[in-house]
Amino acid sequence: MKKFLLFFIMIQSISIIAKTEIDTITNWQLYKDNKILFKSNELEKNLKIGVINFKEGTKVLNFNISYDFFREKTFKKIEFIVNNKVIQYVEDEDYSSSVFKIKKEQIIQLFEKYKNIPVLLKYYDKINPKGVTIGRILIK
């Protein structure tokens, strides 16, 4: 009986100090000015494509990513990729819950050089140091 009780106490103490893994799906949205281009998550990331009409006079792209467990200040970066080559990137440092604003001036080359070519977007921060594909944009 003592062995059983000791074993039971040992199992309980291990379960108390064991690392808890977070089981969530990270969600994000990309807006053209205040209009949503797409919303996606880790499961749907390669399916989403946002169309930007160059003639509409886009002023800013806003990227939001929602973490249930991370609210710290972090380095943020979005790469714009065509044919597996990074053609441009934008960086920022802010709280993870803050909107990542990409001004037209920062990406005007995309609008001029890559019309009708799908551009892959890859996002980096402290949680995603290797980057995560967030979707694609097509500039018309």
Mean pLDDT, range 4-20, rounded to an integer: 61
Which domains are assigned to the chain?
25-139 (2.60.40)
pLDDT the model gives residue 12: 67
Distance, in Å, from the CA atom of 130 to the CA atom of 104, rounded to the nearest integer, reads 26
Mean pLDDT, range 123-140, rounded to an integer: 90
pLDDT the model gives residue 16: 57
Taking CA 77 as the corner, what is the angle to CA 70 and CA 112, rounded to the nearest 5 degrees?
145
Q: How do residues 20-72 score in pLDDT, each as one tens digit? A: 455 567 788 999 988 998 888 877 766 778 888 877 778 889 998 877 777 78
